[in-house]
Structure 1
Amino acid sequence: MTSTASHPTRRQLLQGGVAAGLTIAAAAALGPVPASAAPSTGPARIRPFRVAIRPDQVADLRRRVAATRWPSRELVADRSQGVQLATAQALARFWTTGYDWRRFEAKLNAFPQFRTEIDGVDVHFVHVRSRHRNALPLIMTHGWPGSIVELLEAVGPLTNPTAHGGTAADAFHLVLPSIPGYGFSGKPDELGWDATRTARAWAELMRRLGYTRYVAQGGDVGAAVTDSLGRMAPSGLLGIHLNLLVPALAGTDDLPKNTDEEKSALAALQVFEASGRGYLVEQSTRPQTIGYALLDSPVALAAWMLDHDTDSYLKISRAFLGGPPSGNLTREHVLDNVSLYWLTGTGESAARVYWERANAVDAGQAPPPPAVPVAFSAFPGEIFQAPRSWAEAVYPTLGYYNKPTRGGHFAAWEEPGLFAHELRAAFRLIR
């Protein structure tokens, strides 16, 4: 990995425009970079970044996958005992014989990438400016077991809407940061990096980029960060969009449970509580313990990440076992994400985010709801499809709610076009 110090160049913006799906001519029309509030020297400067994984690291990954010591086959016909052996072995075969990390590395390096130190930690981010003059700045936050990988397919539809069924008035400037402890961001070396602290870092990042008015979006862990950002309502934040109702995961005592839709959501949550949250319990209580396996065995890392929710697992498993992929949730894209975790050695540091959330100083307290407008999209394949009544109970300033026809937990990854359509509609009134 290499990085050098300077401000974003025209060439880097051009590369980002092409990566976002623009033609060379259209990318050349990208708007000017806003005046940065970051200094040109010192820890707070914004430094261009480029991924450069050493060949021996890639070779070591393949060697470790090939040397996996396999468990015996599960004793059931479904995934009730965990990730099935056939899926894990199919993933390993493709990882060693068909997967090309350099393809993804080149794809990532086609985007303008940067790092800047915030609150003692280097934050990595992709920054793609739209060529449309009045584009709205948008900071989007990934989740676990995701990364910025899950957001990249939506860059084109969001920054260049005229090429993807939208209008110039729908355009966004995109900022896609990696949560500290994930990907190419630094690993925190002290306690306290919970969702609230990350949200404060995002507000500082947008200030350094010179954005005085912007919106935010997040799912999974990213929804917790975006929720916190909305509750603190920093100067310039106009509104937020979420696709996971994180507060409902902490309890439903104050939520209505009368309609069929509400009862269905409650039943889905109860299934998740009974059989789907093993990873959450482990990472919230013993992230260091699972970290040894996540840093030592690529297949253990992959299996841990695959065993997240039933909908995502079935889609990913089908892709590796020869079935058609679900949208953009292809086997290549899945391994882009897992390989990113492995090659950056962030399995345990990403897991600690759950411990931080469970042990936050204000854990269990009810902060005031966001004062900014809130938008929510309830995708059908989510862990639970939150009813509008639940979203309104949690977010009194809810101004947009919709139930898309497709998409699951990795909505931006699976259905980037549909996801972009949701964000255009959600933030249209704010514009």
Structure 2
Amino acid sequence: MSGSASTRVLQYHLPDFTLAIEDLKRRVDATQWPNSVYADDWSRGVPKSYLQTVAHYWVHGFDWELWQARLSGMPHFRTEIEGQPIHFLHYRSDRPDAMPLVMTHGWPSSFMEFDQVIPALLNGNGKICFNLVIPSLPGFGFSSPLQSFGWNHRRIAAAWGQLMGQLGYEEFGACGGDTGSLVAPALASLFPQRVVGVHVNGGLLRPHLTADEYLGLRADERRRIDFATELLRLGTGYAHIQATRPQSVGYALTDSPVGLLAWIIEKYKEWTDPRKPLPEEAVDLNDILSTVSLYWLTNTAASSANLYYEVRAEKQMMSPLPRTEVPTGIAVFPTDPVLRHRADQEFNVVHWNEYDRGGHFAAIEAPDLYSADLLEFFSSLERS
């Protein structure tokens, strides 16, 4: 599989993590834990007793051989776009009429978030199935090291357009949550003749509402807005740090695996299904640790944090991308503050479903709902 001589797509062979895993275990066992006053609940961050238990399991209970086998069983490829290594998974359906679909993850996630929905999307629903392209964002996972600044949502979307062209996909669908919920619509704005449809979930942006607008919402809509309002009040410190000083916090996250674990697992506590009190009740702990391990072993804690800085600069320096009429489907989960009447102003919404379980990481929290929603949306579209 290859593109032109300057844009070769090559199968990617995973590095040997044996020594790095041994070093990780040594570092975790040697963690210097704080001895100051701390809370046993989550009011000041991840509780010490909870984190000690999870960290101990990470190095003494987590199945590293299974993790490596799981990774090795995936179809890894890498190319180079604008000097940046871009890693992606590429799954091909057995059906010749499969629609190409580029799936974009967010932070603190990875391509592994989509693992549980891949079989359903490859097999399809009788009407449609997909060839799946699942890239790692620049500076994340195996799309590293980060070679230059400026990798904001717009530039990532432009790179995905190039990637799909390298693979021979002139028309394709786009989907994603978190960062992907912004990159996928940007793809439609940049390539409206190539993107046949956009599916998004997992946005964290709370709409600005007047008091009267808020009172006019349904009870379930108010609950989602209240969730986002509380998150904005207490749960966005990480974003301000990564958007302003990613390099400074990056030193700590790169040197301390337990620090990185706390930084990431807190998001699984705060962003997942509100009815699930602990992260591992919403997402299997082994899946959470698989993602944390990927960040640690690829040394991408700092470079992934840099995305927030780039997005902040993008908002300050660039005008918004134009609205397109590309059909858009939106799956709304209990933590998503999106409102239909506001979404209609930004997108050509032709598909809208609301669900009462799942959360921000929908593809791994509620893979059955997520995959079914994707298939339902793309099945409804006209194809050339």
The TM-score, its normalising length taken from structure 2, stands at: 0.92
AA aligned opposite 1:369 = R
Q: State the distance in 2 between where 1:130 and 1:73 align.
A: 55
AA aligned opposite 1:284 = A
Q: Does 1:414 align with 2:365?
A: yes
Q: Does 1:333 align with 2:287?
A: yes
- Equivalence for 1:25: none
- Equivalence for 1:17: none
Query: Could you tell me whether the CA contact under 8 Å between 2:103 and 2:176 is conserved in 1?
Result: yes
- Equivalence for 1:54: 17
Cα RMSD over matched residues?
A: 2.2
- Equivalence for 1:218: 176
Q: State the distance in 1 between where 2:254 and 2:199 align.
A: 33
Q: State the distance in 1 between where 2:170 and 2:245 align.
A: 40
Q: State the distance in 2 between where 1:342 and 1:274 align.
A: 29
AA aligned opposite 1:224 = L
Q: Does 1:358 align with 2:312?
A: yes
Q: Does 1:405 align with 2:361?
A: no
The superposition leaves residues 129-166 of structure 1 with CA deviations (integer Å, 9 ceiling, x where unpaired) of 011231111100001000111111111111023xxxxx
Q: State the distance in 1 between where 2:300 and 2:306 align.
A: 10
2:155 paired residue among 197, 218, 234: 197
Q: State the distance in 2 between where 1:286 and 1:65 align.
A: 25
Aligned residues: 377
- Indicate how the Cα distance of structure 1 residues 287 and 316 shifts in structure 2: closer, same or farther if over 3 A, else same: farther
Query: Could you tell me whether the CA contact under 8 Å between 1:316 and 1:334 is conserved in 2?
Result: no
In the TM superposition, residue 105 of structure 1 has moved relative to its aligned partner by 1.9
2:331 paired residue among 374, 377, 393: 377
Query: Could you tell me whether the CA contact under 8 Å between 2:246 and 2:305 is conserved in 1?
Result: yes
Structure 1: segments with no counterpart, 5+ residues: 1-6, 8-35, 162-166, 320-324
Q: State the distance in 2 between where 1:368 and 1:169 align.
A: 32
Structure 2: segments with no counterpart, 5+ residues: none
AA aligned opposite 1:271 = E
3-state secondary structure, aligned to 1:168: coil
3-state secondary structure, aligned to 1:105: helix
In the TM superposition, residue 188 of structure 1 has moved relative to its aligned partner by 2.8
Q: Does 1:89 align with 2:81?
A: no
Query: Could you tell me whether the CA contact under 8 Å between 2:67 and 2:290 is conserved in 1?
Result: yes
Q: Does 1:187 align with 2:150?
A: no
1:386 paired residue among 338, 353, 357: 338
Query: Could you tell me whether the CA contact under 8 Å between 1:357 and 1:363 is conserved in 2?
Result: no
AA aligned opposite 1:194 = N
- Equivalence for 1:22: none
- Indicate how the Cα distance of structure 1 residues 78 and 283 shifts in structure 2: closer, same or farther if over 3 A, else same: same
In the TM superposition, residue 76 of structure 1 has moved relative to its aligned partner by 3.8
Q: Does 1:285 align with 2:236?
A: no
Q: State the distance in 2 between where 1:73 and 1:223 align.
A: 40
AA aligned opposite 2:272 = S
Q: Does 1:230 align with 2:183?
A: no
Q: State the distance in 2 between where 1:74 and 1:172 align.
A: 52
3-state secondary structure, aligned to 1:307: helix
Show the 5 A alignment for 1:252-291. 252=208, 256-257=213-214, 258-261=216-219, 262-291=221-250
3-state secondary structure, aligned to 2:133: strand
Q: State the distance in 2 between where 1:212 and 1:118 align.
A: 17
Identity of aligned residues (%): 36
- Indicate how the Cα distance of structure 1 residues 284 and 169 shifts in structure 2: closer, same or farther if over 3 A, else same: same
AA aligned opposite 1:367 = L
- Indicate how the Cα distance of structure 1 residues 73 and 378 shifts in structure 2: closer, same or farther if over 3 A, else same: farther
Q: Does 1:119 align with 2:119?
A: no
The superposition leaves residues 206-248 of structure 1 with CA deviations (integer Å, 9 ceiling, x where unpaired) of 11111121100011111121121122235421110110345x4
